[in-house]
Structure 1
């Protein structure tokens, strides 16, 4: 597995723990369809929370959340529609979040949670 993939997987694992610590219940991880992937689908008991997780080890390529472009947000919305269909969810309130994870080698991990990011 490439270093980037390892960092991404570690970031997603850390983000899931972060979300669970805040009371969210994870329903799906890395759900895929032909249009793309959703990193985390969770619920806060009132709404569906679709989370895009972005992880960086430093700021050399910008802050993690900067990687979520409007094109990426549009793709996540399309994939969410497929998730809803596949899980036979007829209607529910949906919030789209970004969890940015900064995980420097040997340093402390930090999180930025952008609720209703798009």
Structure 2
């Protein structure tokens, strides 16, 4: 993959994450962390769902077309399992306990910088 394509994908991903963050705030969720990294991987977002009291690791997939399927279809079980491990590690490293921990997935389709579709799947594991 060439450098320009890599830059475009990063930019698209960052734009999608900002849209997802705005969407979560509209639900009155608190964003606890964004782009948390460790040697095992990265979490796009960690949020607190005030309604359920859950700490939620949110994976965001952004595409500029739905031609190859919905963005949420491009997240496999291995990725979901890794996100589960990472959010538990994040909690441990923060010295926090949560009675409920879950993984949500947000798929976004952007065309010409406009949101064509935003799909939020809760508790995907």
Give TM-score scaled by structure 1 length. Answer: 0.92
Match of 1:101 in 2: 108
SS of the residue aligned with 1:76? helix
Match of 2:3 in 1: none
Deviations 1:74-110 (A, max 9, x none): 1111111210111111342012100111111254442
Aligned residues: 118
Structure with greater strand percent? 2
Point out where structure 2 has 5 or more consecutive residues left out of the alignment. Answer: 1-5
Point out where structure 1 has 5 or more consecutive residues left out of the alignment. Answer: none
1:88 maps to 2:66: no
Q: CA RMSD in A?
A: 1.4
Q: Give me the whole-angstrom Cα distance separating, in 2, the residues matched to 1:50 and 1:76.
A: 7
Matches within 5 A, 1:37-116: 37-45=42-50, 46-116=53-123
Give TM-score scaled by structure 2 length. Answer: 0.87
Aligned-pair distance for 1:41?
A: 0.5
Aligned-pair distance for 1:32?
A: 0.6
Query: Where do 4+ consecutive residues of structure 1 move more than 3 Å?
Result: 106-109
Q: Give me the whole-angstrom Cα distance separating, in 2, the residues matched to 1:39 and 1:95.
A: 14
SS of the residue aligned with 1:2? helix
Higher relative contact order (CA 8 A, sep 6+): 1
